A = this chain, B = another copy of it.
Amino acid sequence: MNEKKPATMADVAREAGVALGTVSKVVNGLPVGDVYRQKVEQAIRKLDYQVNTSAKALKSSHTNTVALIVPNTIAPFFALLTHHVNLALDKQNYKMLLCFTEFEHDREQEYIQLVRQNRVDGIIALTYSPQLDIPEGLPFVTIDRYFSASVPCVASDNFGGGRLAAQKLAELGCRHVACLRSGSSLVNEPSKRKDGFVSGCLDLGLEFEMCNLSDNAPLSAFEVFLKRNLLETDYPLDGLFCGTDLMAYQTVKMVRSLGKRVPEDVQIIGYDGMRMFGDKDYICSTIVQPVAEMAETAVKMVLSPDYRGLPQLICLPVRYQPGGTTREPVEETV
């Protein structure tokens, strides 16, 4: 009833009639005489004792907590990443301090300060700020963005994914393709998707266009591009690679509103591998990022005892997933 103040180790010691140090040992699983252990455990239950993590952290300068800094959990990719990071942390008995930046550059830096005050044991961050002050001496792993040799980065194989998209479109019979993307202001790993696509098209001798818009360009800019290259030309596009599934989704709508059929007239491949309701149907044909593996890798790295001397950039393999916006290959009938 009067649980005003939670019980402390001293309370437990008094209740059990043993010394403080003995309680500490029982709590931490160190060897203690059986009869003492019994008494202590009983007292713990009776008083509903809970270790005080703050005191423990103060003493050990170790919080068993990792901060995850992401824009939000509304976008499915971030939501999925957050989920898998938490799962991986939980498996190691670590807690997660979640920080949403809402894409605001200032907040990215502010949160880094904040979590430093919380003495987190490491930071995993997916950021966009062009200039970020990364504290030394605190394990810091970035997702999708390479800063410098001293800050390890994990990403999917964006370049390879772009190439794979080009290859798939070619296999599926496309002769004239285009790459649609936005967000060119910041050079990060996802920027390589277009590079890989270009590389793939060149190798395959596949004719391609590029539509590269700046961060917050309106959708109408893409519409102009599509109208010109689908309707007002003698050699219309028959395949599109979009930088993200979201863009692919929006592109499908635009292409259809222009009177073209998807996938009959135009085949479209996105990037990310997002699904309806997180784990149901794929939203479009897509290059799937191994989000779970990315999260696990980031966690493993940030908690690595040998944080220095970690590889600078880890690119995890992607795969192609049909999702209704490409045609069925003739040989396969699933």
Contact = CB atoms under 8 A, between A and B. Distances in A.
Interface of A: 1, 3-4, 6, 50-55, 57-58, 63, 72-76, 79-80, 82-83, 86-87, 90, 95-98, 100, 113-114, 116-119, 135-137, 245-246, 249-250, 274, 276-280, 283
B4 A117 contact: no
Given A53-B118, A54-B63, A276-B249, A87 B100 contact: yes
Contacts of A280: 246, 249-250
A322 to B, nearest CB: 17
- Max chain B Cβ within 10 angstroms of own Cβ: one of A95, A114, A245: A95
A55 B52 contact: no
Given A54-B119, A119-B53, A74 B63 contact: no
Nearest to A58: B54
- Max chain B Cβ within 10 angstroms of own Cβ: one of A54, A75, A82, A90: A54
A98 to B, nearest CB: 5
A286 to B, nearest CB: 13
Given A63-B54, A137-B3, A277 B118 contact: no
Among all A-B residue pairs, the 8 with the closest Cβ atoms? A74-B278, A3-B137, A54-B57, A79-B79, A54-B58, A73-B79, A50-B117, A53-B118
Contact of A55 (B58, B95, B276): B58
Contacts of A117: 50-53
A18 to B, nearest CB: 21
Contacts of A52: 58, 117, 119
Contacts of A4: 137
Contact of A86 (B1, B87, B100, B135): B100
A52 B280 CA distance: 44
A53 B113 CA distance: 12
Nearest to A55: B58
A279 B274 CA distance: 15
Given A57-B54, A74-B279, A96 B95 contact: no
B95 A100 contact: no
A292 B52 CA distance: 33
A50 B245 CA distance: 41
A150 to B, nearest CB: 12
A322 B191 CA distance: 37
Given A58-B55, A83-B100, A278 B76 contact: yes
Contacts of A57: 54
A86 B95 CA distance: 16
A52 B95 CA distance: 18
Contacts of A58: 52, 54-55, 58
A293 to B, nearest CB: 16
A74 B246 CA distance: 17
A278 to B, nearest CB: 4
A79 B74 contact: yes
B118 A95 contact: yes
A114 to B, nearest CB: 7
28 contacts: A1-B136, A3-B136, A4-B137, A50-B116, A50-B117, A51-B117, A52-B58, A52-B117, A53-B54, A53-B117, A53-B118, A54-B57, A54-B63, A54-B118, A54-B119, A58-B58, A73-B73, A74-B80, A74-B278, A75-B277, A82-B98, A86-B98, A87-B100, A95-B97, A96-B98, A245-B277, A249-B280, A276-B283
